[in-house]
């Protein structure tokens, strides 16, 4: 697989951040392509990025149940993930809670609340939101980064066999 083919296929795994796939390829992802091997290479590339680059990846993620979702402007992966957790079926009060938490979270941390929603429902997500907003910035940057890596793995398992 060429670099262009690799980036074309995996460049969206880390939301709107093809540089992660580019660097993973450049580092030598030459083994059999499995979710585990590609994920490992991409996580290494992400973690090797500067704090500014990693922050840009976090900021590339949409707010949960936010304005992009309402406008129908989420990536296909994000739309499916949010819909799977029921975030496309919120009551007016639930939507108001998400909107208020999204705003407070971004104001405090400078990036959106990120959580791998697969297997969670809206109540689980709200509970995590309400807990994590009390973290300090360093703890939340690390937590959000770990969630980005989990989201990437889940996306890769839908594209490739799971092996290591």
Which residues does the annotation mark as catalytic? 61
80 SS3 class: helix
E strand or H helix at 88: none
CB 129 within 8 A of CB 101: yes
Euclidean distance between CA atoms 51 and 32, whole angstroms = 30
Calpha distance 39→50 (Å, rounded): 19
Residue 62 and residue 152: Cα distance in Å, rounded?
Answer: 15
Give the integer Cα–Cα distance in Å for 39 and 152: 7
Cα(24)–Cα(26) distance, rounded to whole angstroms? 5
Distance CA(133)–CA(77), nearest Å, equals 25
């Amino acid at each position: 697989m060429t670099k262009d083919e690799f980036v074309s296929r995996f460049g969206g795994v880390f939301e709107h951040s093809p540089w992660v796939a580019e660097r993973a390829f450049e580092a030598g992802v030459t083994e059999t392509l499995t979710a585990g091997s590609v994920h490992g290479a991409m996580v290494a590339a992400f973690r090797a990025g500067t704090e500014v680059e990693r922050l840009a990846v976090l900021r590339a993620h949409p707010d949960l149940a936010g304005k992009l979702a309402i406008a129908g402007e989420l990536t296909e992966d994000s739309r499916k993930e949010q819909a799977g957790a029921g975030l496309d079926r919120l009551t007016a009060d639930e939507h108001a809670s998400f909107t208020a938490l999204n705003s407070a979270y971004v104001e405090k941390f400078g990036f959106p609340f990120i959580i791998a929603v697969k297997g969670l429902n809206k109540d689980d997500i709200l509970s995590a939101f309400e807990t994590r907003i009390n973290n300090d910035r360093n703890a939340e940057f690390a937590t959000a980064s770990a969630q980005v890596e989990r989201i990437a793995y889940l996306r890769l398992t839908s594209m490739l066999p799971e092996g290591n």
